[in-house]
Amino acid sequence: MRIIIAVAMFFLSTALILVGIAERTIWAPEETKAMSVTVDAARPLLIVPNAVLKLHSGTPVIKASGTGKVFLASGRESDLRAWIAGSSKTEIGIDPKTKKLNYTSLEGVEASANPTGSDLWRTERTSTSKVSAKIDSSEEAAVLIAGDGLAPAPNKLTIEWQRNYDLTPSNIFLYSGEALLVATFIYNILLFRSIRNSRRPRRRLPKAPQGPRSRPKRRESSLPKRGRRVAGRNYSWIPASFVVVGLVTGCTPAATAPTPKPETNTATDAKPAALQLGQIRRIITSVTTIAKGADTAHNSAQLLPRFFGPALEMRSAAYNLVKHSTKAPVIEPIYASPLTLSLPAATDSWPRTLMVVTGVSKKRLPTLLVLRQMAPRQQYQVWYNTTLISGVKLPEVPAVEVGAVPVDKDSAYLAETPLNLTTIYGEVINSGSESTSFGKFNLTDDSFYTQISKIQQEQIKSLTKAKLKYEHILADPEPLALATADGGALVAVYMKDVTTIKPTKRNSGITVNALEQVALGAKGSIKGVVSTYGDMLLFYVPSVGQTSKIRLLGWQAGLLKVKSL
């Protein structure tokens, strides 16, 4: 029997090793699967859909070649199609009969464009005559191939799938077979020694001396007890009873596990994040490069590719003040790193919003940028540039891979609609605790409220011979808001503070401060002045039903213009 076990162990170990070798050789799939197609009369743009990239397992490598410039970019398929829109294109597909690559050319009515440098691309490469790139086909990735966007795209395309074969099953078989083979050898050695020892001659040993054969008399205490009363003291039934109990217990039906209740799956309804972290880093780097050049030259025209709306207006006004006075405030630079918060919108439509926090350092306060992309062929542009309040704690936000849901400007799910924020906040600045909206805001660490309300009160006390009027108006009708993890929202608004000062007596005038004199071009005015300041504000607005209050998280203020009445 032991010899049979040894033989069985040997054959089993050999079989395991052979299976492990076969997994690496004859049973292993092809390392590379390649498919090619040549396009006749190619259009300016060529798209490889996600379905083609996933025809085979493994990581696809795209190789495109043609005459002149060759451009290759990857991105989400819906974004690629939105960028192409109605332009002429060639789409790569698969023939259902031959299982080979084919193509379909479609004429478009819209003009094409150069795709180089778009914010929609996750990766891009440009070369001469040919280009090759490894593509991550996950997250609906597709590929766009072009020349300069106007000339015909490269007409030769090859897709190779490099398969990363998992050797784990093969390693399991090989290691198991080797371990079993070693155990077989050890078992055979022990078996051989046992057989050899069993064949040795055995000597008869002399018997030990025996004592007397007389039997001791039986005493009454040593006699076996009889009768029913003593029969129960036999404990030989205990092991058997345990076996019976165990069998009965094993046959007892197990307690019925609670049936899990079906949960509502909302993942299919959720939109994907519009940007990946690599795209966000590339966008912010471009923004800082352009801002640095414009800040050095004090030229607002250089800001146009990456700045728009409130951020462009306020930075242009700051350039104008710096050009005319050395006493003008220093323009705060924008830093590309470190990025401590990246919050893209979870959407597949336009416009799209992006919020980032950058420039965190012990020597300066971090900056929160709010960017917007109006259309697929446009770049993300900075609309708001705010400095976070010292010691402020941002609310929890979704991960960058998930993205945040855009919030409408008139959303009824928030404690206050974004469109109405500047109106009620302005009332609080003007009236303080007497305002009906005073209890809606947490003003404990609101440095903007503290400074502005203090300036207004000092002006009212000092200008006893003038009439003052303060207005806080919504300057941009499109507040930008993204949802937070708790159902609230980060809301960026643009408010303008308009101060009108008129003298109440004749032959008296109004003088302005040094910075306003630069903007006015004079020390004051006899008729009065109107000063306009711009305020980019970032609020956290809780959802309806929450006990927390509206908080100001960051702000940036600057003088826009001063005019005489």
Complete DSSP assignment for 410-463: T-TTBSS-GGGHHHHHHHHHHHGGGSTTGGGEE-TT-HHHHHHHHHHHHHHHH-
- Do residues 154 and 21 share a domain? no
**Does residue 261 sit within a domain?**
no
**Does residue 397 sit within a domain?**
yes
- Among 124, 147, 162, the domain boundary falls at 162
Label residue 3 by pLDDT band (50, 70, 90).
confident
How many structural domains comprise the chain? Answer: 3
Q: pLDDT tens digits, residue range 112-157?
A: 999 999 999 999 999 998 999 999 999 999 999 999 999 999 999 9
Q: What is the mean pLDDT of residues 447-464?
A: 90
Global pTM exceeds 0.85: no
- Do residues 171 and 305 share a domain? no
Q: pLDDT tens digits, residue range 387-443?
A: 999 999 999 999 999 999 999 999 999 999 999 999 999 999 999 999 999 999 999
Q: Contact, 385 vs 536, CB < 8 A?
A: yes
- Do residues 415 and 532 share a domain? yes
- The answer, yes or no, to whether residue 464 has pLDDT greater than 90, is no
- Residue 219: the pLDDT is 55
Q: What is the mean pLDDT of residues 62-77?
A: 93
For 213, the enclosing helix (H) or strand (E) is none
**Does residue 97 sit within a domain?**
yes
- The answer, yes or no, to whether residue 37 has pLDDT greater than 70, is yes
Those residues with Cβ within 8 angstroms of residue 445's Cβ, 6 or more apart along the chain or in another chain? 389, 391, 392
- The answer, yes or no, to whether residue 40 has pLDDT greater than 50, is yes
- Residue 210: the pLDDT is 62
- The answer, yes or no, to whether residue 94 has pLDDT greater than 60, is yes
Label residue 90 by pLDDT band (50, 70, 90).
very high
Q: What is the mean pLDDT of residues 357-379?
A: 94
- Do residues 39 and 19 share a domain? no
- Residue 197: the pLDDT is 75
Q: pLDDT tens digits, residue range 275-320?
A: 999 999 999 999 999 999 999 999 999 999 999 999 999 999 999 9
The CA distance from 455 to 59, in Å, is 63
- Residue 310: the pLDDT is 97
- Do residues 538 and 452 share a domain? yes
Label residue 77 by pLDDT band (50, 70, 90).
very high
**Does residue 85 sit within a domain?**
yes
Across 21-25, 251-255, 334-338, 400-404, least confident range: 251-255
- Among 143, 162, 181, the domain boundary falls at 162
Q: What DSSP string runs through 140-185?
A: TEEEEEESSSSSPPP-EEEEEEE-----HHHHHHHHHHHHHHHHHH
Label residue 202 by pLDDT band (50, 70, 90).
low
Across 131-135, 166-170, 261-265, least confident range: 261-265
Q: Contact, 399 vs 277, CB < 8 A?
A: no
- The answer, yes or no, to whether residue 244 has pLDDT greater than 60, is no
- Residue 153: the pLDDT is 92
**Does residue 446 sit within a domain?**
yes
- The answer, yes or no, to whether residue 449 has pLDDT greater than 80, is yes
Name the phi and psi angles at 20, rounded to 5.
-60, -40
- Do residues 151 and 172 share a domain? no
Name the phi and psi angles at 509, rounded to 5.
-130, 175
- Do residues 96 and 178 share a domain? no
Q: CB count, 10 Å around CB of 193?
A: 10
- Residue 84: the pLDDT is 94
- Do residues 430 and 544 share a domain? yes
Higher pLDDT pick, 463 / 149: 149
Q: What percent of the chain has pLDDT over 70?
A: 86
**Does residue 409 sit within a domain?**
yes
446: left (phi over 0), alpha (psi -120 to 50) or beta: beta
Average per-residue pLDDT for the chain: 86
- The answer, yes or no, to whether residue 189 has pLDDT greater than 70, is yes
Burial class (CB in 10 A: 0-12, 13-18, 19+), 276: buried
- Among 126, 143, 162, the domain boundary falls at 162
Helix, strand, coil shares of the chain as percentages rounded to 5?
30, 30, 40
- Do residues 132 and 6 share a domain? no
**Does residue 208 sit within a domain?**
no
Name the phi and psi angles at 344, rounded to 5.
-85, 160
- The answer, yes or no, to whether residue 259 has pLDDT greater than 50, is no
Nearest to 482 by CA among 389, 556, 411, 554: 411
- Do residues 391 and 311 share a domain? yes
Name the phi and psi angles at 365, rounded to 5.
-85, 150
- Residue 284: the pLDDT is 97
**Does residue 238 sit within a domain?**
no
- Do residues 484 and 423 share a domain? yes
- Residue 535: the pLDDT is 97
Supply the range of the domain harboring residue 157. 32-162
Label residue 246 by pLDDT band (50, 70, 90).
very low
- Do residues 293 and 400 share a domain? yes
